[in-house]
Amino acid sequence: MCGIAGTYKFRSQAAADHTAVERMTASMSHRGPDDHGVHIDGSVGLGHRRLSILDLSNRGRQPMTTKDGRYVIVYNGEIYNYVERRRELEAGGYGFQTDTDTEVLLALYAQYGAKCLERINGMFAFAVWDSVEGELFLARDRVGIKPLYYAETRDGLVFASEIKSLLASQEVSAQVAIPAIDRYMTYGYVPGADTLFNGIKKLRPGFALRANSMGLTTEAYWDLKYVPNLHRSAEETADELRALLINAAEIHMRSDVPIGVFLSGGLDSSAMVALLAEAGVRDLKTFSVAYHEAQYDETRYARIVADHFHTDHHELYIDPKDFLECIPRFVWHMDEPVTEAAAISLYLVAKLLREHVTVALSGEGADELFAGYAIYQYMQWIEHYRKIPEGVRNSVIAPLLGATGHTKIRKYLRLARQPLEERYLGVSLHDVGYKDILYTNEFREVIHAHPCRDSLAESYSKTRGDDVLTRMLYSDLKGWLVDDLLIKADKMTMANSVELRVPFLDYRLVEFAATVPSGMKIRNGQVKWILKEAMKDRLPREIVTREKVGFPTPLALMFQRDLSGYLRELLLSEQCLNRMYFHRHAVERLIEEHVSQRHDHHKVLWQLVVLEEWHRQFIDQNTCGIAA
């Protein structure tokens, strides 16, 4: 796990600036504290920060060059099947000088070019410079576990693992893409290829980019297609799934440094511990985080798993003071606003974990593959409800349900008026109604004048004709998972120089999940039914049968109590209100209603907090310097 950066002045062919590349790599030293390097070849400059995981000697230093000097690579990630690919290359006569997966990837590119992507299983973002063809090739892994940002400049291209590194090049300035704020307020992040920085883009998962004298081109090399296997029994499906999981866990353990597991006590992280135990791993270290409020403390379940598998277990309790002090650092490390309060918990537990190990495994991705969220069921029920004749719905059923006065029922009755593409925008399901009262007229005019491309519409168009659950899963795989969960996981662990691995997102498991019929993912009111079937004999019963609670953070309570003063001071400040995005009276009302416990507005208040802190960190300072 590392950080990569570079520049290619393909338009002007001016010499690359060694000092600029040094600045870019220095800005993300947390991603690679063990070593760093820069390679300059005319108009190309490549930089690297190394976190040593395989072959800890300096032979693994990057940028790395082929023996003939033609190709140079900078690479962030892990190729889990590098052992098998190395054997194939050695059988063909290739002689290796290191024990790294970096050299295997470089050799594969030298032999197969872009088609090497079909032969590797891993998480990665890399760039290869071909000095003969004068072409720079960038690629990001299939699912988007590792980030990769880029921007076109007057001279050509800059790219990096983090946005702050692009800003450090001084070829890109920190300017707000104001229309994208509306996307952020809708989703809690900016989906797709765009970011909240004007002109800075993400290379999308499963895509590659080429830069040469002709300019930039991007192309997809992988996508997921859902083809349910209706002839395979549930028992056979569970057996195949379990075998794949065990193999994925085994190859994700390849490392020359100690490995631990983030253990929440939920099904997914507990399954990781069970699978590693089945693979023969002993003396495993596990790590949990919790808050002192009883309803946000899952440590009891984590202890059940830790005791069952005899792990060396560690727990971290967080209080509101810890949370508040961490907000500026969380925003700085995230690069752009992402409404994911659990990221702060992950940052703090990763800090604890780094005292013991360098690599950690987590259960990220299982929910998006095997339908682990209750909202998927709600959306399916709404779809069934929408099939009832409209007259009956409006005159009989809706009035009866609405009369219950239940807030959630009323919410879903409102959603039922919309087709799936409009009502389901992701797992977090932010209430977009807030925008009506929050937005100023000036802000609304900018949004209407410069509409953003809707990346979720593209996802839904690709699954037109599929069942409702499949359409939601694909949408979340392309949006929520990559632009919220995975970006949080990468940034918060790498902030502490920890490599995070996510075995559930081994691409073979992702493709296998797409063959599992929706009826095996949710069955008899149970989400993730097939995964529970695969793991039911490997885990304590309390873990398999418990309801999913996610990664709980007591934001609502903190905003009512300890952080209420912080809310007012930040969101009602002249500095914040002068941005002219939101009405003062609307923000004031949300705070007062929440603090007085008349309504729960913690989600939208957190969105506003993160957005304002981001402006102060990046836009107001126009710098990439870290917050104190």
Q: Is 37 helix (H, G, I), strand (E, B) or coil?
A: strand
Distances (CA, A) of 496 to 32, 261, 353, 527: 10, 15, 9, 33
Lowest-confidence segment of 55-59, 99-103, 432-436, 502-506 by average pLDDT: 55-59
Rounded to an integer, the average pLDDT of 346-362 is 93
> Residues 566-605: pLDDT tens digits?
999 999 999 999 999 999 999 999 999 999 999 999 999 9
**Predicted local distance difference test score (pLDDT) of residue 498:** 93
The answer to whether residues 71 and 128 touch, using CB atoms and an 8 Å cutoff, is: yes
Domain range list for the chain: 2-220, 234-371+474-545
CATH of domain 2-220: 3.60.20.10
The class of domain 234-371+474-545 in CATH terms is alpha beta
The pLDDT of 132-142, averaged and rounded, is 98
Q: In this structure, are residues 228 and 516 in contact, taking their beta carbons and an 8 Å threshold? A: yes
3-state secondary structure 204-238: CCCEEEEEECCEEEEEECCCCCCCCCCCCCHHHHH
The answer to which of 144-148, 280-284, 344-348 has the lowest mean pLDDT is: 280-284
Lowest mean pLDDT among 380-389, 445-454, 461-470: 445-454
Catalytic residue among 2, 116, 326, 624: 2
Pairing of strands 359-361, 259-262: parallel
Question: What confidence score (pLDDT) does residue 255 get?
Answer: 81
**β-bridge mates for residue 8, sequence order:** 44, 157
Left if phi > 0, otherwise alpha if psi is -120 to 50, otherwise beta: which for 550? left
Q: What is the pLDDT of residue 442?
A: 94
Q: Among the listed ranges 203-212, 230-239, 288-297, 552-561, which one has the minimum average pLDDT value?
A: 288-297
Share of the chain above pLDDT 70, in %: 97
- Give the C-alpha separation, 294 to 508, whole Å: 39
Chain segment 450-462, per-residue pLDDT in tens? 887 777 888 999 9
Greater confidence (396 vs 82) lies with 82
Across the chain, mean pLDDT equals 92
Q: Please answer whether residues 190 and 183 qualify as being in contact, where contact means their C-beta atoms are separated by less than 8 angstroms.
A: yes
Would the pLDDT of 77 be above 50? Answer: yes
- The amino acid occupying position 51 is L
Distance of CA 585 to CAs 111, 185, 269, 610, Å? 63, 18, 43, 19
Q: Give the model's confidence band at 290: pLDDT under 50 very low, under 70 low, under 90 confident, else very high.
A: confident
Which of 110-114, 214-218, 399-403 has the least mean pLDDT? 399-403
| Catalytic site includes residue 452 | no
Evaluate if residue 525 carries a pLDDT over 80.
yes
Strand partners, 135: 130
Confidence band (pLDDT; 50, 70, 90) for 627?
Answer: very low
Predicted pLDDT of residue 626: 41
Name the band, by pLDDT with cuts 50, 70 and 90, for residue 551.
low
CA distance 571 to 563: 12
Q: Comparing 216-220, 401-405, 580-584, which segment has the lowest mean pLDDT? A: 401-405
The mean pLDDT value for 112-141 works out to: 97
Confidence of residue 560 (pLDDT cuts 50, 70, 90): very high
- Band of pLDDT at residue 292, cut at 50, 70 and 90: confident
The residues near 32 (Cβ < 8 Å, ≥ 6 apart) are: 1, 2, 3, 25, 48, 49, 50, 51, 497
The two beta strands, 64-65 and 215-220, are unpaired
DSSP secondary structure, 84-149, as one string: HHHHHHHHTT---SSS-HHHHHHHHHHHHGGGGGGG--EEEEEEEEETTTTEEEEEE-SS--S--E
